[in-house]
Amino acid sequence: MKNDFSRRAFLKTASIAGLAIAASPTLVFGNPLKPSKVNVALIGTGLRGQNHLHNLLQRDDIEVSAICDVDGEMLGKALKMIREAGHREPATFTGSEYAYRDMLQLPDVQGVVISTPWLWHPIMAVDTMKAGKYAGVEVSAANTIEDCWDMVNASESSGSHCMILENVCYRRDIMAIHNMVKQGIFGELLHCHCGYQHDLREVLFNDGTQAYGGGVEFGEKGYSEARWRTEHYLKRNGDVYPTHGVGPIANMLDINRGNRFVSLTSTATKARGINNYIVEKGGADHPNAGLEWKMGDIVTTTITTANGESIIVLHDTTLPRPYSLGFRVQGTKGLWMKDGNQIYIEGTSDPHRWEPSQPYIDKYDHPLWKTYENLAEGSGHGGMDFFVMNAFVESIKRGIAPPLDVYDAAAWSVITPLSARSIANGSDPQDFPDFTRGRWIKRKPVFGVSSGY
Amino acid sequence: MKNDFSRRAFLKTASIAGLAIAASPTLVFGNPLKPSKVNVALIGTGLRGQNHLHNLLQRDDIEVSAICDVDGEMLGKALKMIREAGHREPATFTGSEYAYRDMLQLPDVQGVVISTPWLWHPIMAVDTMKAGKYAGVEVSAANTIEDCWDMVNASESSGSHCMILENVCYRRDIMAIHNMVKQGIFGELLHCHCGYQHDLREVLFNDGTQAYGGGVEFGEKGYSEARWRTEHYLKRNGDVYPTHGVGPIANMLDINRGNRFVSLTSTATKARGINNYIVEKGGADHPNAGLEWKMGDIVTTTITTANGESIIVLHDTTLPRPYSLGFRVQGTKGLWMKDGNQIYIEGTSDPHRWEPSQPYIDKYDHPLWKTYENLAEGSGHGGMDFFVMNAFVESIKRGIAPPLDVYDAAAWSVITPLSARSIANGSDPQDFPDFTRGRWIKRKPVFGVSSGY
């Protein structure tokens, strides 16, 4: 009842906000039940953290009361953003990798946005939940199977929530397709494709002073993501970044909510892309040209579900190629493919002929997008960054579990260690832990159900 | 030396033939070294056999000396075709499933085209080779692992050849991409996609009097393919039709010729498409509506190779969808995707942007297609049926192994039993037998190398 009431009250506010945006550059939010602002802190104020900060600063219903980063330069940039937005001076924490733990002692902080290197995600999310605060953790949320259990256990024992900040779940076309799925347009779902297919070579390597390209340095000599992401490619062979693809598909298939991931197999190709790139850009004599990169250029993972669907997930980030998350959603009545932007719906499409998908994307535009279209503009990544942060903030306001919760964070992120283990064992199938402890049977879908978050 | 000489002689003839075609509806072939015609017999004169017969009858370098089918109606249709083409009356064999063995006793027959239900392919191919004749066997060539070994052993012990008549290897765009692969345009290959994605519901079910649709009958009450193909869907769960996708990819990856398939995993979705179709078209009370179909609607297979590539193969034939073999060919310098007809080549394409693939397909048109374009027209399946039969006939003329040989037939067809076993065992990886007995290390690529066949 409370939730229903909150939602109605919020919708009313949201429509007022829709009017307000036209008059003011600052977005007007707020829930009449909780007039005070949501108090948010950030761990990690690098490029991704600054993006979240930008979106938070657009809102009138939040206060950024504290920020934390070991990198003084990045912390300074965030502080400058907050000052320039006219917000109150935040507390700052730095000087040690565990400075964030001091920040978590602040009693007023309600939610913590974690945008740090991958290895820190689960530790910081666990600490945040144990401190009684909402954790909003960037993707991928965890690196090992134990990480995933730690997060689930921390949430269950503390009663705190963890949201995985998987923005692609909120991509406009994805939400339209999600809408079509839930309306049964594709019939009963059977098979999906997705993946992270993004030429990251200029992200993985740079000259140590700029974020993208210009050199073949990484680790301590690199800048931004190259400082930490690239080493995973040197040491690991698995799908280290599955959630942009798997998150949206998991929502469509009701994973952890009437369905679950059961098992996977993974296969990796040989590794050629990075070495070729280093030799081409840095020369065969560059010290990095002699390194042996463990991660295969393309990792293929096939997941089976309790309800009998299959999902192909690709990781393809070290070869020259245009960006594509490679979505395909297929059921008993038809299918959509992002590659080629084509769709086929039996009884609607001409028999055996593709149609362009855009008219369907427009027709089934999700209510959330209709409501927030103006607010989402300029938020980053085509608007989806607005929605993911909005859902985090609105969940805190309502005191409810976020629509992408700790079980989603665990089930999606565990693909990484399971895929690595499958590859290391000749593609042997690996079982997914049931992080819901059987409650997936009873849990109900929530993503995209509310028109408020 | 002999082969080189033959090829030059043939090329000379082919160019004469290229002129002759303009003047005459009958195609002029012939190798000056062997002026006599190639003597061909057919086992199976159903719709597929008639298509091959049509193409054979266009040629002046073959004689169809015998035909065989248990189905008198189909045999009569083939006989009529031969008479109407003005060819000499062939010997006919019928009356028993083993009547073809009498035909194989004919000493003059050099090559036998086998277009029969799947279960007969390996038996007939083995008998043909044992009779000292070239076997040309339709796809897929075999159903069990033992079938594959039987074919290999029959070829090696008899010294006779077996060609798998995989026409898609000769599709114009495929041969252009093959050409690009061999010229290194994609760099070192890493990852390919392919599959048989074709809504076959009207092929699997009909009214018993027409080949496509009109009812939900199959088996003894069905007509044409529905008489035999559909039962595989009732009893088996695996990729029963892998070669249209895998054949072309195997050629690009030099499988059995410097590379080989090493292992696979397979996954099947639940089975919904056929039952839905029967209920919708025949009603819930139709006796076939109560059957339990074993084959999952979509079977996903991932193959690894000795050279470190991976291949995703899909079988998707019982759901509403447009036709697509779903090809993707990816290497260190770029990739082609048939879905969306898009290509990206580093250094040529605008960075991070797809290009339309057609200009590349045109530019890299394979020499075989340039030579035989006019002859291929009207041969069926967009011209590729001409090429596959031409390769069979020209191999017989030259007394050489066909470009798609018994090892290819075995390695491609064995995917079916291996995928079924993987699915039955929770996607456990399955090793490919090495049908070449290690000779893949030394064997050289031949497909698409000669401009004569």
Within its chain, how far is the Cα of B250 from the centroid? 12
- Distance between CA atoms of residues B172 and B368, nearest Å: 9
Task: Provide the chain B residues 227-246 that lie in CB contact (below 8 A) with chain A.
Answer: none
Look at A191 and B353 and tell me if their CB atoms are within 8 Å.
no
Task: Provide the chain B residues 55-114 that lie in CB contact (below 8 A) with chain A.
Answer: none
Q: What is the pLDDT of residues A321-332, one digit of tens each?
A: 999 999 999 999
Enumerate helices (H) and strands (E) in chain B, giving the number of each: 16, 15
Report the share of chain A in percent with pLDDT over 90. Answer: 89
**Mean of pLDDT over chain A:** 93
Q: How far B293 CA lies from chain A's nearest CA (Å)?
A: 14
The predicted model gives B85-114 an average pLDDT of 97
Q: How far A175 CA lies from chain B's nearest CA (Å)?
A: 22
Do the Cβ atoms of A301 and A427 come closer than 8 Å? no
Tell me, yes or no, if A352 comes closer than 8 A to chain B by beta carbon: yes
Do the Cβ atoms of A113 and A120 come closer than 8 Å? no
Q: What is the pLDDT of residues A292-326, one digit of tens each?
A: 999 999 999 999 999 999 999 999 999 999 999 99
**Mean of pLDDT over chain B:** 93
- Distance between CA atoms of residues A74 and A49, nearest Å: 9
Please determine, for residue A64, whether its predicted confidence score (pLDDT) is greater than 80: yes
Tell me, yes or no, if A269 comes closer than 8 A to chain B by beta carbon: yes
pLDDT band per the 50, 70, 90 thresholds, residue B452? confident
Q: What is the pLDDT of residues A336-347, one digit of tens each?
A: 999 999 999 999
Look at B332 and A319 and tell me if their CB atoms are within 8 Å.
yes
Tell me, yes or no, if B42 comes closer than 8 A to chain A by beta carbon: no
Candidates A101, A49, A100; CA nearest to A74 is A49
Q: What is the pLDDT of residues A274-295, one digit of tens each?
A: 999 999 999 999 999 999 999 9
Q: Tell whether ipTM is more than 0.85.
A: yes
Q: E strands, A116-203, where?
A: 134-137, 162-164, 189-197
Please determine, for residue B236, whether its predicted confidence score (pLDDT) is greater than 70: yes
Candidates B1, B416, B105; CA nearest to B232 is B416
Q: What is the pLDDT of residues A88-98, one digit of tens each?
A: 999 999 999 99
pLDDT at B35: 53
∠ CA B256-B260-B266, rounded to 5°: 130
Tell me, yes or no, if B377 comes closer than 8 A to chain A by beta carbon: no
The residue behind tokens 């191999």 is: B395
Tell me, yes or no, if B333 comes closer than 8 A to chain A by beta carbon: yes
Within its chain, how far is the Cα of A409 from the centroid? 9
A140: preceding bond cis by omega (within 30 degrees): yes
pLDDT at A29: 57
Q: What is the pLDDT of residues A349-374, one digit of tens each?
A: 999 999 999 999 999 999 999 999 99
Residues of B in contact with A297 (CB under 8 A): 190-191, 332
Q: What DSSP string describes A355-375? A: EESHHHHHHT--HHHHHHHHH
Rg (CA), chain A: 22
Report the share of chain A in percent with pLDDT over 70. Answer: 92
- Distance between CA atoms of residues B258 and B98, nearest Å: 39
Q: What DSSP string describes A197-262? A: E---HHHH-B-SSSSSBSS-B-GGGS-GGGGTTHHHHHH--S-S--HHHHHHHHHHTTBTTTB-EE
Helix, coil or strand: residue A62: strand
Please determine, for residue A260, whether its predicted confidence score (pLDDT) is greater than 70: yes
pLDDT band per the 50, 70, 90 thresholds, residue B380? confident
- Distance between CA atoms of residues A413 and A114, nearest Å: 15
Worst-scoring range by mean pLDDT, A209-213, A313-317, B13-17, B277-281?
B13-17
Whether the model pTM is above 0.90: yes
The amino acid that residue A252 corresponds to is M
Going along chain B from its start, the domains and CATH numbers come out as 2-169 (3.40.50.720), 171-367+406-441 (3.30.360.10)
The sheet with strand A328-331 has its strands ordered as A355-356, A342-345, A334-337, A328-331, A189-197, A310-316, A298-305, A261-268, A430-431
Q: What is the pLDDT of residues B254-280, one digit of tens each?
A: 999 999 999 999 999 999 999 999 999
